[in-house]
Amino acid sequence: MAPVAPALAPYVASLTAYDVDLGAPGVHRGLPGTTLTFVLPVGEPLDVGWQGVPASRAARWSTVSGLHAHPAEIHHDGHQRGFQLALTTAGARALFGLPAAELSGELLELAEAAPLLRHLPEQLAEAPVERRGMVVERALVAELARHGAPAARREVGRALAGLTRGVSVQRVADEVGYSRRHLSSLVRAECGLTPKEVQRIGRFEASRTMLGRAHLAGVAHACGYADQAHLTREWVALAGCTPTTWLREEFPFLQDHRAEDGPG
């Protein structure tokens, strides 16, 4: 993971160059999160689609996906290479000129989401390996100067930040001075999800960072789940698998008795 240019910092939460040997062909899970995902594969297109929706699967040289409450499936031949960026909701406006809500639940190519960036995959492929990160950053910084779309209301940004941290919907509404109904309308218009959905995904994302480092019961308690069974049910709903299954798939050499599914 590389630091991003200061101009991009409010809009790009992370920029990761990846070159991964997975050993054998398989399927990787793309999990829900509180940021939008922007992937630029190198060498081979990214074969991705929503789990359970065969019509959404396609091999793409660029993929932009909005916030979502269901997993994606990335089919690979055992090796993956490219760049993955996590964009903030503000990043959708700044870089693509549209609210994140218009990308919610979508899997798009750059030609659809940001036509002016449609040549970026080709430029990336032609660039020397050591300059590819710079090519991506320069293209995005140039986009910042092109889009004059107004930023989301500051209070909406505050609300999204609070919901992501697990603050209750009522408390967030009180803090920004809106009714729950008005808050729900504004949040949905900005990111495409309801406040409860944002809160749910934020809690799920927090639990993912703790897996393998604590007992599931402890993870459930720390992240605000009612109990371990509740945590497991939410993982099945949002990731399509239990926490232990995900750990086994993602970290096959990790042997940790703390990651036990238990009941649920």
Amino acid (one-letter) located at 226: A
Question: What is the Cα–Cα distance from 210 to 231, expressed in whole angstroms?
Answer: 12
Q: Is the pLDDT of residue 258 over 80?
A: no
Q: Is residue 247 within 8 Å of residue 259, measured between CB atoms?
A: yes
Question: What is the Cα–Cα distance from 92 to 67, expressed in whole angstroms?
Answer: 11
Q: What percent of the chain has pLDDT over 70?
A: 93
Residue 259: which pLDDT band, with cuts at 50, 70 and 90?
very low
- Look at residues 70, 31, 73, 28 and name the one whose alpha carbon lies nearest to residue 49: 73
**Rounded-to-10 torsion of CA 199, 237, 54, 125:** 50
Residue 251: which pLDDT band, with cuts at 50, 70 and 90?
confident
Report residue 63: phi and psi, to 5°: -140, 125
Fold of 152-200: Arc Repressor Mutant, subunit A (1.10.10)
Other C-beta atoms closer than 10 Å to the C-beta of 115 total 11
Q: How many residues does the chain have?
A: 264
Q: Domain-by-domain residue ranges, the chain?
A: 6-146, 152-200, 211-264
Q: What percent of the chain has pLDDT over 90?
A: 80
Mean pLDDT of the chain, nearest integer:
91
Predicted local confidence at residue 255, as pLDDT: 45
| Helix, strand, or coil (residue 13) | strand
Helical axes 180-191 vs 154-164, angle rounded to 10°: 90
pLDDT tens digits, one per residue of 42-68 = 999 999 999 999 999 999 999 999 999
| Helix, strand, or coil (residue 260) | coil
Question: What is the Cα–Cα distance from 203 to 196, expressed in whole angstroms?
Answer: 11
Predicted local confidence at residue 221, as pLDDT: 96
pLDDT tens digits, one per residue of 33-48 = 999 999 999 999 999 9
- CATH code, residues 6-146: 2.60.120
Question: What is the Cα–Cα distance from 179 to 159, expressed in whole angstroms?
Answer: 12
Question: What is the Cα–Cα distance from 112 to 223, expressed in whole angstroms?
Answer: 36
CA-CA distances (angstroms) from residue 49 to 200, 232, 235?
Answer: 22, 24, 19
Encoding tokens for residue 45? 């297109």
Encoding tokens for residue 166? 């697990």
- Look at residues 189, 197, 162 and name the one whose alpha carbon lies nearest to residue 176: 162
Q: Where are the beta strands (DSSP E) in 191-246?
A: none
Residue 189: which pLDDT band, with cuts at 50, 70 and 90?
very high
* pLDDT mean over 64-86: 95
* pLDDT mean over 259-263: 48
* pLDDT mean over 67-85: 95
pLDDT tens digits, one per residue of 103-150 = 999 999 999 999 999 999 999 999 999 999 999 999 999 998 887 656
Question: What is the Cα–Cα distance from 206 to 193, expressed in whole angstroms?
Answer: 18
Which of the residue ranges 19-23, 152-156, 194-198 would you say has the lowest mean pLDDT? 152-156
Task: Scan for tokens 């060498």, then name that residue.
Answer: 43
pLDDT tens digits, one per residue of 161-176 = 999 998 999 999 999 9
